[in-house]
Structure 1
C-alpha cells in the first residue's frame, strides 16, 4: 500500500474526514482521561482488566527447555573467562559489577545478594558478541535472575507494569487465534507493533495474504517478559500453551515482526520455522510501495538515515540484510553507525532495566543517539523506536516498506498508551470480521 504524495498537515485536517477523525480522537481522549489519570498507575488499571491467569501446566507435548543450574553456569564462566575486559569496556552494568568471571566467583562463593544484581543487566548479549573466548555471559545473568525469583530474593513490584502488559497480551480480551483449515503459516506481529502501528500491521497482513493465501494470524504475547524476568515457570506454562495451540493445528512456520518474538520462537519452538517478515518482504516487496518509490525518485529527496539493529537479532545476518534492503528500496540512503549488526547496542529498553536502573538504560539510549549524529534512526523493533524516540527521531522499517513518503517525511506517528490498547482491540475485531469468521 502506498501512502501517496506528501500533503501538509493543515490540508489533511481541514478535509471533512480529517475534521471528523480529529474530533473522534479528542472525544476518545476525554472519555479515557479519567480511566487513565495519573493518580492511579496504568499498570494497576490494566491488572484489574487483565488479571494474571493461573500458570498453565507444562505438558509432555511441549518440549520445555532443560536449563543448567546457576552453579553449573557460574562454574563454566569462572573457569573459561580470562577477565580480559573486552566486554566491560562496552557495558555500564559490567563496569559497575566487574567482569563475568568476578560475578561468577561471587555466585560460587555463596554471595546471597549477587543474583539480584542481574536485574540491572540489559540482557543484550553484547558481552558475548565481544568475547574473544566465545562465551555467553547472558546465560549466567539469566540464571541469576531465575535463581533470585525462585528464592524470593527480588521483588518484582517494579516490573508490575510489564507483567500486566504480558497478561493483557495473553488474555481472552486481546488474543486472537485466526487459524484457517490447512494453514501451516501464521503471522505473529507482536503486542507493541500492533498497538503502535495498527495501520502498518494491517497493510503487512494484507500483503502476506498475497504471498501465503492460506496464512493465519495470531495476536498474543510470546511471554518473553516472564522469560527475561526469571519467571521460568510462568514462561514455560504460557509459551507452552501458545505452542500447543499452534502445534495442534499443524502450524509449521511463524512469520514474526517483533525481534523478541522471533528469538523466542527460534529458541523454544524447534519444530517450527521462525521467519522474519523483513526477509519475506525483501523477497516479495509490496508493489504499490515500490511503484510509489519509482514515481517520486526525481521529485523528493530525503536525508540519509542510520540503521539500528535490535539486540535480540544480533546473530541473524539475513534479517540485518533484509531490513537494509527494504530501507534502501524506500528511497532512503543508509549511513552505518559504528556499532551495528552483531555488535549492535541495546536501545536501553532491554531486560526491563529501566524499572530499577534508569541511569543504565539512559546511557545506552544516549550512546546510540550520539552515534546517529542527528540522523533519523531506522530500526525494525517497535520497542526500540519507542525507547529511543525521546533522544532521536526514529522510524520503523515496516512503515518505510508500506508508507515510505509519509514515514520519510516524518508524518508517520505511532500511537501511544492508552490508545495502543484500543488499536490492538480494533485490529482483533477487524480481523475476526474480515478473515476469520
Structure 2
C-alpha cells in the first residue's frame, strides 16, 4: 500500500508515543483493526519515527473506539494519533483519501447540510433544542416526532434542530469542511439564544461538547430526569425477549449516560443482559471512524465479532448506527427509543429493525426535515 510522508509535528508526536510504549501489546487484544493489520503499534510508530512516513491504510483502518487507550498502561491515545495522521494526510495528499471513501463522506456531508435535509422549529423564548442527529433521523420520522412531542410536554419552549454535527468530516480528516459546517450550527444556536442541546447520538454528544460553546445533555440523562412516558412504564415486565445491551464506544467514559440508560430500561420493565465488555470496557460496533467507507473488511469483521460476543438473540442500543451494525453482524436489534415510541414494538408486532438502505435513510431524513420546518424561524 502507498506510503505517505508526514509532517514534522505529527512525526514528533508519534516519536513521543513510541518512546512511552513498552510494547506490551495489550491494546492489540481489543483493537478492531488488529484483526487485519497484525503489526504492533510499537513497530508502526517506530517505522514512522525512522522513515517519516506511514502506510496510508493504517490510520484509515482505525475505528477511533479508544479501546486501546482504555487498556494501555502508559495512557497512549492511539485513536487521537491516527485521527491527526488522517488530517495530515488529507492536507498533504487529498487524492489518496479518495481510495478510503472520501467521495461517500463528501456526498453525505453536502447532503446533510443542504436545505433539503435540514430544518428547525425554534419557538420564541426557546433556550433548549432537541438534536436527534443523522442516524436516528434516517431511521424513523415517527420516532423523532414522538420523542420531540414527549420532550415538549415536559420542557417548556423546546426547539428542534435537524442537521449533522459534522463528525464524518472530522473522521475522514477534512478539517476545513468540518469547521465551515459546524459554524453553521453555532450560528443557529447563537442567533436564537440557545443555551442547551439535548442529543440522542453519542457522536453528536462528543462533537458538540468539544467544539461548541453550549451545554450538551444526553437524551438519556434527560429521560432520567423527566421519566419515561406513562404508557410504557413497566409495560415490558412480562416480556420474554432475550436481549443484551450494547453501549456505544464514543461515550465509554460517560458513566452518567450508562446509568441513565439502565434506569430507562428498569422503568419500562425490560430485562436485559450485560455484555462481558460493557460501559467503559465496551467494544466498537464496527462503524466507528467511518469504517464502512474507509475499510469495509475491518468494519464487517468487527460487527460480526461484537454481535456474536453475546448469546442473546437480540441486541439493543442507544445508538442507531450500532443497531444497524448489530443487524449486519447477524443479530436482531432495536433502538431503545423503539421500546418507548414505536407502536409496532410496543404492541409486539415486530422484534427487530430491518437493514436500512441508503435511499430509505435519506427519504426518512427528508421527512424529518420537512416536519422540523413546519414552524421554521431561522
| TM-score, structure 2 normalization | 0.89
Query: 2:336 aligned to 397, 401, 423, which one?
Result: 397
Q: Which whole-Å CA distance do the structure 1 matches of 2:353 and 2:57 have between them?
A: 38
The Cα of 1:180 is off from its aligned counterpart by 2.4
Say whether 1:103 aligns with 2:103.
no
Q: Counterpart in 2 of 1:81? A: 21
The CA distance in 2 between the partners of 1:92 and 1:237, in whole Å, is 31
In the TM superposition, residue 109 of structure 1 has moved relative to its aligned partner by 2.2
Matching of residue 188 in structure 1 with residue 165 in structure 2: no
Q: What's 2:83 paired with?
A: 142
- Distance change (3 Å), C-alpha of 1:198 and 1:416: farther
Match of 2:231 in 1: 289
The answer to whether the 8 A contact 1:196-1:416 is kept is no
Partner of 2:30: 90
Q: Deviations over 1:37-80 (max 9, x none)?
A: xxxxxxxxxxxxxxxxxxxxxxxxxxxxxxx9413421331121
Mapped partners of 1:286, 1:268: distance in 2: 30
1:151-188 Cα offsets, whole Å, 9 max, x none, are 11623253322321221111111111333233221111
Q: Distance in 2 between matches of 1:420 and 1:359?
A: 22
Q: Compared with structure 1, are the counterparts of its residues 301 and 97 closer, same or farther at alpha carbon in structure 2 (3 Å cutoff)?
A: closer
* Separation (CA, whole Å) in 2 of partners of 1:167 and 1:245: 18
Aligned length: 365
Q: CA deviation at 1:371?
A: 1.4
What are structure 2's unaligned runs of at least 5 residues?
1-7
Return the alpha-carbon distance in structure 2 between the equivalents of residues 122 and 178 of structure 1: 34
**Per-residue deviation, 1:131:** 1.1
Partner of 2:285: 347
Mapped to 2, the partners of 1:211 and 1:168 lie a distance apart of: 32
Q: TM-score, normalised by structure 1?
A: 0.78
**1:302 aligns to what SS in structure 2?**
coil
* Counterpart for residue 239 of structure 1: 182
> d(CA) in 2 for partners of 1:311 and 1:382?
13
User: Are 1:133 and 2:71 counterparts?
Assistant: no
Between stretches 122-131 and 234-243, larger displacement belongs to 234-243
* Secondary structure in 1 matching 2:58: helix
User: Are the aligned partners of 2:245 and 2:315 in contact in 1 as well (CA < 8 Å)?
Assistant: yes
- Asked if residue 424 in structure 1 is aligned to residue 362 in structure 2, the reply is no
Alignment partner of 1:118 out of 59, 69, 73: 59
Shift of the 408–342 alpha-carbon distance from structure 1 to 2, 3 Å rule, reads: farther
**Alpha-carbon shift at residue 237 of structure 1 (Å):** 1.7
- In 1, Cα distance between equivalents of 2:66 and 2:282: 10
Partner of 1:4: none
| Correspondence list, 1:311-322, <5 A | 311-322=249-260
Secondary structure in 2 aligned to 1:389? helix
Q: Larger C-alpha radius of gyration, 1 or 2? A: 1
2:250 is aligned with 1:307: no
1:10 paired residue number: none
Contact 2:14–2:48, Cα closer than 8 Å, also in 1: yes
CA distance in 2, matches of 1:261, 1:367: 25
**Residues of 2 paired with 1:159 and 1:233: CA distance?**
14
Secondary structure at the residue paired with 2:194? Answer: coil
RMSD: 2.3
